[in-house]
Structure 1
């Protein structure tokens, strides 16, 4: 673990979201894909539950929408990149 309990995997996922390469699929627990590949479920849950990533718009369960960083997500990413 590193800063704030986030790992290099979390940082890479946040960076991909910031670059516009990620989508969230809504449902009971969101799933995150980057470049069409599904990400680690636990890391996705960590980021989503902490409010660092969100869906760009509301959608029905099972539909993919672009993922975006929240303001706190941008701050955390900045801290992780600077470390």
Structure 2
């Protein structure tokens, strides 16, 4: 699973052969979650509330880049790194 960003102990990644809707995966310690790019809703898994809030803040600021990476992944092309949360 290609890593596209990393910040505050959270790893953001996408799979190449993943299913719709467009989303990304977050790993944080023993926690994992899948977040929709369009709605920023948690589709599965769970993160601690503070971590989820930070991920949503980051994703809202980088939604266009996440959508671009999703399209690259769907076409088996290299994904672009996205700046971490500042």
Asked if Structure 1 and Structure 2 have the same fold, meaning a TM-score greater than 0.5 normalized by the shorter chain, the answer is: no
> Scaled by the length of structure 2, what TM-score is found?
0.34
> Scaled by the length of structure 1, what TM-score is found?
0.34
- Greater strand percent: which structure? 2
